[in-house]
C-alpha cells in the first residue's frame, strides 16, 4: 500500500474528551490509523474537571489514566492538543482537512519542574476552575494533564515574563519562537466529538449569577469540591470563604425553558444529587434543599435517588424559583418563587445556591466546517446527506459519561466502515 493511500485511510477524531478518546482508541485497537485533535492543551475534556462520577462516587482520574496508558501504548494514534480543524472538503473516503495548531510555547523537553511558573509574575483566570481563582501565566493545566507539559499563556509569552520563563528553564523547553502552524492531510472519515459547554447561567438574569458571588453553577461546584480546586476541596462561600450551613440546588436553571434551552439535559438531576453528597460529607448537619420541576433519574440511577431521599437533611421541593436576591447585611441569599405542590408562595434563605445548568453542544455555537445538518437545538442530526462525517457524544445528544463512551464506540464502528469502503 502506498504512503498516500495509507494516509487517506486515516480516521480523524475531533475532540479529546471521553467520547473522542473512546472513538480513537477503539478504532486504533481495531487496527486503523487515527489522528486526534483537541482544542485544549490537554486530553480528557470536562470529565477531567469532575470530582466524582455518579452513582458510584468514584474519581474520574482512574478511568482517564487507563485511557492515557492505552494511548501511549498504541502507535496507531497521533494526537495534537491546542489544535482545531480549519476546513474540510472532499467526500466519504477522501476528505481533505486543514488543521491549525496554536503555540504552546513549551516543547517536548518539558520535565514539569515548574521553574517557568515560579519565574513569572503574571496571573490569569484559571479556566480549569471556571475562573474561580487565578494561576500563573505559565502553568500545568491540572495534575494529571496529558500530555504532562506546561503551557504559557500567549500574552505572558509575549511580555517580559516570557523571557523570565525562558531563562528559568534549564532544559530548553520554553520556546517563545513558536507560531501557529497549519498542515493539510487526507483522511477517510471524520468523527466530530468536541463536546459541550455549560449553558451560560448569566443569561438567566433573575438568578443573579455573575452578580452574587454565592450563586454558582453545577460545574463550578464540581471544582469547589475537588481537592485540586480553588479551595483545596473545601466547600465554602466564594464571597467570604465561610463554611456553608444551608445550600440550595435549583434544577433546570435555564433548561426546559423556551427562552433558553428548551430541552432536558438528562444529567443535571443526577449531578445535583451527587453534589448533595459532597456537602453532606463535609457538613453533616447542613441543610440541603433541592428545588425541582421533576427529578429525572433514568434506569439504574433510580436507586441513587432513593438513597439521597432517605437523608433527613435533604429536602426536595417541587417548585419554580422566580428570583434570587441578596441580603446586603448578611450576604445570605433569598429564593423567591412558588411551591407548585401547594400553590403557596415560597420564600427561603440559603448561604450558597447551586444552579443546575444544562448542556449546550459546542456545535450550537461553533459549527463543523462542512455542510452538516443540525436539529433545532444545535446537535448534529442523525441522518446526514454528507456521509463519512459522524457525530459522537454530547454533540449528538446530552449524555452522561458512560453513555458518551458507548456512543464513541459506535462512532468508531461507523468510521471504520468508511475506511473499509475505500
Nearest-CA neighbor of 261 among 194, 195, 360?
Answer: 360
Please compute the mean of the pLDDT values over residues 27-37 and round it to a whole number: 97
User: Where do the domains of the chain lie?
Assistant: 3-102+180-197+360-421, 115-168, 200-357
pLDDT surpasses 90 at 329: no
Q: Residue 3 pLDDT > 70, yes or no?
A: no
The overall average pLDDT reported for the chain is 95
- CATH for 3-102+180-197+360-421 is 3.50.50.60
Q: Is the confidence at residue 8, as pLDDT, over 80?
A: no
For the stretch 246-303, pLDDT in tens is 999 999 999 999 999 999 999 999 999 999 999 999 999 999 999 999 999 988 899 9
Concatenated DSSP letters for 107-125?
A: -TT-----HHHHH---EEE
Reported as a pLDDT band with limits 50, 70 and 90, residue 422 is: low
Burial of 415 (0-12, 13-18, 19+ CB in 10 A): buried
| DSSP tag of 376 | T
Q: Which residue has the cell 501565566?
A: 137
Mean pLDDT, range 35-55, rounded to an integer: 96
**CATH says 200-357 is which class?**
alpha beta
* Helices H / strands E in the chain, number of each: 10, 21
Model confidence over 99-143: pLDDT tens digits? 999 999 999 999 999 999 999 999 999 999 999 999 999 999 999
pTM reported for the whole predicted model: 0.95
Assess whether the region 3-102+180-197+360-421 and the region 200-357 belong to the same CATH fold. yes
pLDDT confidence bin for 1, thresholds 50/70/90? very low
Model confidence pLDDT, tens digit, residues 77-97: 999 999 999 999 999 999 999
% of the chain with per-residue pLDDT over 90: 92
Amino acid at each position: 500500500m502506498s504512503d498516500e493511500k495509507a494516509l487517506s485511510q486515516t480516521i480523524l477524531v475531533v475532540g479529546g474528551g471521553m467520547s473522542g478518546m473512546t472513538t480513537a482508541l477503539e478504532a486504533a485497537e481495531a487496527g486503523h490509523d487515527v489522528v486526534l485533535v483537541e482544542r485544549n492543551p490537554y486530553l480528557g475534556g470536562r470529565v477531567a474537571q469532575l470530582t466524582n462520577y455518579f452513582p458510584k462516587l468514584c474519581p474520574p482520574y482512574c478511568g482517564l489514566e487507563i485511557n492515557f496508558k492505552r494511548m501511549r501504548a498504541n502507535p496507531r494514534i497521533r494526537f495534537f492538543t491546542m489544535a482545531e480543524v480549519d476546513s474540510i472538503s472532499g467526500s466519504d473516503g477522501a476528505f481533505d482537512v486543514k488543521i491549525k495548531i496554536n503555540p504552546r510555547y513549551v516543547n517536548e523537553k518539558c520535565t514539569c519542574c515548574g521553574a517557568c511558573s515560579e519565574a513569572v509574575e503574571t496571573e490569569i483566570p484559571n479556566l480549569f476552575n471556571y475562573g474561580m481563582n487565578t494561576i500563573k501565566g505559565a502553568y500545568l493545566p491540572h495534575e494529571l494533564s496529558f500530555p504532562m507539559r506546561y503551557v504559557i499563556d500567549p500574552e505572558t509569552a509575549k511580555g517580559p515574563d516570557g523571557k523570565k520563563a525562558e531563562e528559568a528553564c534549564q532544559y530548553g523547553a520554553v520556546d517563545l519562537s513558536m507560531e501557529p502552524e497549519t498542515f493539510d492531510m487526507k483522511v477517510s472519515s471524520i468523527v466530530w466529538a468536541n463536546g459541550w459547554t455549560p449553558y451560560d447561567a448569566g443569561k438567566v438574569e433573575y438568578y443573579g449569577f455573575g452578580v452574587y458571588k454565592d450563586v454558582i453553577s453545577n460545574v463550578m461546584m464540581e471544582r469547589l469540591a475537588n481537592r485540586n480546586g480553588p479551595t483545596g476541596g473545601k466547600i465554602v462561600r466564594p464571597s467570604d470563604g465561610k463554611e456553608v450551613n444551608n445550600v440550595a440546588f435549583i434544577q433546570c436553571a435555564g433548561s426546559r425553558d423556551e427562552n433558553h434551552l428548551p430541552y432536558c439535559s438528562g444529567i443535571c438531576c443526577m449531578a445535583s444529587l451527587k453534589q448533595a453528597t459532597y456537602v453532606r460529607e463535609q457538613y453533616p448537619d447542613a441543610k440541603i434543599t433541592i428545588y425541582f420541576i421533576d427529578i429525572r433519574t433514568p434506569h439504574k440511577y433510580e436507586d441513587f435517588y432513593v438513597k439521597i431521599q432517605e437523608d433527613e437533611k435533604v429536602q426536595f421541593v417541587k417548585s419554580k424559583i422566580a428570583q434570587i436576591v441578596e441580603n446586603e447585611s448578611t450576604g445570605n441569599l433569598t429564593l423567591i418563587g412558588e411551591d407548585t405542590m401547594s400553590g403557596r408562595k415560597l420564600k427561603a434563605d440559603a448561604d450558597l445556591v447551586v444552579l443546575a445548568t444544562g448542556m449546550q453542544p459546542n456545535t450550537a455555537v461553533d459549527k463543523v466546517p462542512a455542510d452538516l445538518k443540525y436539529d433545532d437545538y444545535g446537535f448534529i442530526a442523525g441522518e446526514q446527506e454528507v456521509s463519512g462525517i459522524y457525530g459522537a457524544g454530547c454533540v449528538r445528544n446530552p449524555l452522561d459519561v458512560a453513555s458518551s463512551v458507548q456512543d464513541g464506540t459506535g462512532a468508531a464502528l461507523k468510521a471504520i466502515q468508511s475506511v473499509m469502503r475505500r
